[in-house]
Structure 1
């Protein structure tokens, strides 16, 4: 049976439960293979609910972001709005919203939570400085990207449901990777791809993970992910910095060179630089794949 014209070639990510440290290291960590682990946080995740976050952080003023592409010289780290955490959680519970909290550092903002979880003992060499929280409303989307530090990510989800599309680094060209960036063309709607305008997407092969409360998704470094909040919910990211020399060098390049070059050219050129990179990505992809279609 042929798949619909506007859907990716996806298979369900492998699910496991009761996995040992040795099994995780041998089957997934060493092979850089995503896996959805059920039951990994059962000993502590019952406390991780909106009510508890509201109780300990309800008065905090939190920065909010949307999925709208950042235009011109605007800094992508500038929030579009701010509100009390309690008001934001009420919003998540009562209606769809595109407003999200992005990379909210637990140690800096909610240190109480450090007592309310355990780093899962599965063999990941965690960087314990940066457990971070992510919140989103029903229907909110996180643009397609891979993490700039190229680190492995254990993404643990709470409250509602979340859908994650995953693509390996071997899919960079098919996804229209943008130069000097960790994302693909933001004009691509990953939830409803236009294969006529972006024909390389038809070649992209990936995985899909449907997450529920307490599920932990292992996302290896360099893997692309596109996230949709099916319900208002939140997640915690536990990270491990790159261990092999190639990826560690890539992290240094991304963090200390590429990011700053892109920032300063954008600060000078504004939207012209964004448009130039997008055209570059579009034409480069088609040239590599022999597709006779140019921007």
Structure 2
């Protein structure tokens, strides 16, 4: 297992930020100013501003949330009660990942729309060139002409101390902003996917810190991964490139947010799933390819095992040659 440290930077301008983004490797910004929220958001401040606002949260008796086995329940609570439970409930762990307002999940998370009482507290640093549909950019075309990144969603995140979020990947690039508390983040590059025992966009390796002998017994391939690690201090921000797997641990009661944006070329080529409100549905061509793989396997299963295994290996060889 190869462990690498995520590099940290400060005093970035537009050019240096863009150059780092182009490398497609995670990095931390120490001093990006996202507005009033960076200094004023605390448990008491948010309770005062958001009060009885209803939010849907994950509640679990285990610190490691497991989306595959669903070891949690969804609970709808007043915001101030959710904060109190995060801080004081010794029997459960709580995790807020804000969602859109539509009950049928047809809209994206937008802090400005779902939490209007605190929306003015948040601004995106200009050097990131992330369009927020201001007067300068009223459409996707305007974003492209100005060279801005098109904001997809802004996600509010709050969690209990010690809560671990499962390893997964997103289709969109994003910035994770750590406002209160410290958070450990472990990332794995896209080319490590064959070591992560995937189910859809999530890994079946729930405890990535299990002793090596146990991992070797249950998930031996996982020992081949490249781990990029960092601890986000209050006020730091992490760039997470699309398709990079990531796992987070709240080392303290945690308040943060994400900003996701879409890739211009993928928009132009109509590759995003239009029903995706979380930024984690595979691109349209990939979905088509997966469907064809399922058909392929059904055809091969019609033959005796000897022939099925042979043709599977031939196909795997063709795919492997495509990677080389």
Question: Between Structure 1 and Structure 2, whose CA radius of gyration is higher?
Answer: 2
Work out whether 1:142 is the aligned partner of 2:161.
no
Query: Please, which of 53, 78, 98 is the counterpart of residue 103 of structure 1?
Result: 98
CA drift of 1:232 comes to 1.1
Question: Taking structure 1 as reference, are residues 17 and 248 closer, same or farther at Cα in structure 2, changes over 3 Å only?
Answer: farther
Query: Please, which of 199, 203, 210 is the counterpart of residue 192 of structure 1?
Result: 210
Contact 1:92–1:233 (Cα < 8 Å) also in 2: no
- 1:15 is matched with 8
CA drift of 1:140 comes to 0.8
- 1:35 is matched with 27
1:148-184 Cα shifts (integer Å, max 9, x gaps): xx11101001211111101111111111222xx1112
- 1:83 is matched with 77
Counterpart Cα distance in 2 of 1:205 and 1:247: 33
1:64-88 Cα shifts (integer Å, max 9, x gaps): 11414355xx8x9x95222221122
Work out whether 1:254 is the aligned partner of 2:282.
yes
- 1:173 is matched with 194
- 1:69 is matched with 67
Residue aligned with 1:228, SS: strand
1:3-57 Cα shifts (integer Å, max 9, x gaps): xxxxx5322200011111111111x211112111011127531022222211111
Contact 1:135–1:234 (Cα < 8 Å) also in 2: yes
Work out whether 1:55 is the aligned partner of 2:76.
no
Query: Could you state the TM-score of these two structures normalised by the residue count of structure 2?
Result: 0.68
CA drift of 1:128 comes to 3.8
Higher relative contact order (CA 8 A, sep 6+): 1
Question: Taking structure 1 as reference, are residues 50 and 124 closer, same or farther at Cα in structure 2, changes over 3 Å only?
Answer: same
- 1:292 is matched with none
Counterpart Cα distance in 2 of 1:250 and 1:192: 38
CA drift of 1:124 comes to 4.5
Residue aligned with 2:48, SS: helix
Counterpart Cα distance in 2 of 1:40 and 1:156: 9
Counterpart Cα distance in 1 of 2:12 and 2:122: 18
Contact 1:107–1:129 (Cα < 8 Å) also in 2: no
Question: Taking structure 1 as reference, are residues 170 and 246 closer, same or farther at Cα in structure 2, changes over 3 Å only?
Answer: farther
Contact 1:107–1:130 (Cα < 8 Å) also in 2: no
Aligned residues: 248
Counterpart Cα distance in 1 of 2:24 and 2:97: 25
Work out whether 1:130 is the aligned partner of 2:153.
yes
Residue aligned with 1:213, SS: coil
Counterpart Cα distance in 2 of 1:248 and 1:153: 20
Which has the higher mean CA deviation after the structures are superposed, 99-108 or 203-212? 99-108
Contact 2:151–2:262 (Cα < 8 Å) also in 1: no
RMSD in angstroms over aligned alpha carbons?
3.2
- 1:276 is matched with none
CA drift of 1:243 comes to 2.8
Contact 1:221–1:242 (Cα < 8 Å) also in 2: no
